[in-house]
Amino acid sequence: MPRVDEPVRVWTSEIGEPQRMVWRARRYRVTDTPTALVGTCDWWKPLSPHGFGIGHPPLQIAGWRFQATSDDGETHVFDVEHGESDADWQLLRTFD
């Protein structure tokens, strides 16, 4: 699926899981359990060219994948990640 790269507004639960979203002026409610998308921790990235021991680099939640449905029943699966700040969100991909 090609990358979308559009800003979106995401509301999250107390533990940070997405609950609802506005994309292209349409409201969507999360209708399944979000899945965390993980990536290498930011503080580790400068060290990543070096191989240190056994295992993998430390990971952090880099974004979320979830199914969401609009008020009129349109459903998509979305991949989102934080933008420049924790309040900003970027839509990465949609799956129909």
Instruction: Please answer whether residues 68 and 75 qualify as being in contact, where contact means their C-beta atoms are separated by less than 8 angstroms.
Output: yes
Which alpha helices (H) appear in the chain, and where do they start and end? none
Residue 79 included in any domain:
yes
Tell me the backbone φ, ψ of residue 14, rounded to 5 degrees: -60, -30
User: What local confidence, expressed as pLDDT, does residue 46 receive?
Assistant: 73
HSE, side-chain direction, 13 A CA sphere, residue 65 = 9
Query: Per-residue confidence at 90, pLDDT binned at 50, 70, 90?
Result: very high
Instruction: Please answer whether residues 55 and 19 qualify as being in contact, where contact means their C-beta atoms are separated by less than 8 angstroms.
Output: no
Domain ranges, residue 49: 6-95
Q: 0.75 exceeded by the pTM?
A: yes
User: What local confidence, expressed as pLDDT, does residue 54 receive?
Assistant: 65
pLDDT digits (tens, 9 = 90+) for 29-85: 999 999 999 877 777 667 666 666 666 677 777 899 999 999 999 999 999 998 877
Residue 77 included in any domain:
yes
Query: How many independent structural domains does the chain possess?
Result: 1
Calpha distance 34→53 (Å, rounded): 33
User: What local confidence, expressed as pLDDT, does residue 28 receive?
Assistant: 98
User: What local confidence, expressed as pLDDT, does residue 47 receive?
Assistant: 66
Residue 1 included in any domain:
no
**Of 22-26, 64-68, 78-82, 86-90, where does mean pLDDT reach its minimum?**
86-90
